[in-house]
Chains A and B, each alone.
Chain A
């Protein structure tokens, strides 16, 4: 697949990524009694210069996926290949050096900046850690970075609490940019911001991508935002990717019943169209099952409106057989028995 830059180079390759958090019991001797399968067998690729959107409900494992890719959590299993190098095998110093190429922007701009550090030292820290610039040169670079993200360089001696949410998020963006990474995981970077500020930060991210040729993994639950910023979109449900395709085909022809339900829940700005639309809204019943005890077969079978159809048309019981995640059309991957 090609993108705006005309390259068809794969920057990041995630294969069968699993991130299980153990559940233990006992005070002194902790028995391992189960796992929370936050990310369960996820496979996808991110191309150089593109934005891959990752959407899903709260708790479906989006953020965990992002963090497991950056090795902030050590994955239970699977490969994370970044520019051909398997990150899950890296340790200590080599991993630390590798971090220069991949950065993260966090969800909560109030929690992601150390309250005891000045803006200057927050933004300059990556430069210091990787020994890139020091002294006056670093200070100049920090001022330049602040300018790039639209902050007054004179704020360099201020503390995070002296800024608004949007400004703080810009500081977070400047920090991520400091070491000129290739890849940035944006972990719901706008969810904690006001709507008016959201647009500013989104535009900033887009401008930066165009200017520095960045690749984003954009994690969000706001479908409109994801549609705006992403080239391709992956939909997650209960630790698995259920559908992955380019933006337009996802919004035009969603295959997976979960994607269809998710998209039908997006309200329209036009009230008359919205009334018409509400008639066809797919309302899912029940709750998301616990990731500690996911259902047998297809993860989504407990809530799937098309489960009977699969049994009738294909003769497959979704509660028994797990669907394969496969490419049903060119570049359109789905994990559902109804397709392919």
Chain B
């Protein structure tokens, strides 16, 4: 009976079915390819990763500087192309402070900047500081690129550590909801999250120099950063484990691992991916904050955080020292957040952007 009654619609559907059957990841890719903002963010993210990964090559062949070479004769110099226009800009700023802005100065600022840029483009490696020098005469752009290596590395490490821990603990406590296992996990989560993290990190990193290396710092941030994911997953899994499809696969004879990794995990996978990506961004920011406070990555190694902390006092005199790492952090985290946002939509099978 069943076969007969379906012969007709079957014939009709067949034609279009073969054209548009998509697997889950096929649909995700198609949705991502149609999302221009996410595509742009992915482009920006790849660009940031590429320039930081290629930092040694860029520093040697294009910029011609070493990130740790000091030269005390050129401390706090503005970008080479702005050698003439920077004093003019400062003069303009002074006139504004006195009351009347001297707008006519901008003509000179523009023309000398343009001339400086032209010279810089023509210059050989090692002759032009594109973004000026810091208080030890080191090239800021080179240090910014090198700092990105450390920041992104820390971001990736922290995300890896905290996701592994967080997903594992979350799955365990979600699966064993309302048993002593869940109570234990919950107690650990509560204890760890009631510690004032900033102070603990300052104390630990200040006392043990091992935590001031990128690996040590990521370990610390990861160990104390997984509770959010766990708690999020635990809550989600509490509702998921009561769904009938979980019962259905138990009735079918599925093992605990299958239930956890084939049924429960995929239903929270989009949350995990999004949280992991946001985790990278917040780890970058956390590293910057800790280095800024002087307990993270120490000089002479460059990181975006310690570049900022070393130069905050001279913000009005040499704003490029703060703006460079600031803009690097901003662009990287912006790209990461936008990618996370786009992925969240793309991974949801209910959202179809036809």
Chain A positions within 8 Å of B, measured between CB atoms, are 67, 70, 72, 96-97, 99-100, 103-104, 106-108, 111-118, 125-126, 129-130, 147-152, 154-155, 157-159, 161, 172, 175, 179, 203-204, 207
Contact = CB atoms under 8 A, between A and B. Distances in A.
B269 interface: yes
Which of B3, B13, B24, B252 is most buried by chain A, counting CB atoms within 10 A of its CB? B252
B22 to A, nearest CB: 7
Contacts of A152: 6, 9-10, 13-14, 17
B24 A159 contact: yes
A116 B244 contact: no
A129 B251 contact: no
B24 A112 contact: no
B247 interface: yes
B349 interface: yes
B315 interface: no
List of 5 A-B pairs having minimum Cβ-Cβ separation, nearest first: A150-B2, A99-B253, A112-B244, A116-B266, A111-B244
Contact of A151 (B6, B244, B251, B350): B6
Interface of B: 1-3, 5-6, 9-10, 13-14, 17-18, 21-24, 243-245, 247-255, 258, 262-263, 266-267, 269, 349-350
A130 B250 CA distance: 12
B169 to A, nearest CB: 21
B248 A106 contact: yes
Contact of B3 (A67, A99, A117, A147): A147
Contact of B23 (A118, A149, A151): A118
A106 B243 CA distance: 11
A106 B244 contact: yes
A113 B246 CA distance: 9
Contacts of B3: 147-148, 150
Nearest to A121: B262
A217 B17 CA distance: 37
A204 B266 contact: no
A116 B24 CA distance: 8
21 contacts: A72-B250, A99-B252, A100-B253, A104-B248, A104-B251, A108-B244, A111-B244, A114-B249, A115-B245, A125-B249, A129-B252, A130-B253, A148-B2, A150-B5, A151-B6, A152-B9, A152-B14, A154-B13, A157-B21, A158-B21, A159-B24
Which of B2, B6, B14, B21 is most buried by chain A, counting CB atoms within 10 A of its CB? B2
A175 B254 CA distance: 13
Contacts of A113: 245, 248
A207 B2 contact: yes
B252 A207 contact: no
Contacts of B349: 115-116, 159, 161
Contact of A97 (B9, B17, B253, B266): B253
Given A106-B244, A161-B349, A126 B1 contact: no
B251 A70 contact: yes
A125 B22 contact: no
A99 B251 contact: yes
B13 A103 contact: no
A68 to B, nearest CB: 12
Contacts of A106: 244, 247-248
A151 B10 CA distance: 8
Contacts of B266: 114, 116-117
A96 B266 CA distance: 23
A148 B3 CA distance: 7
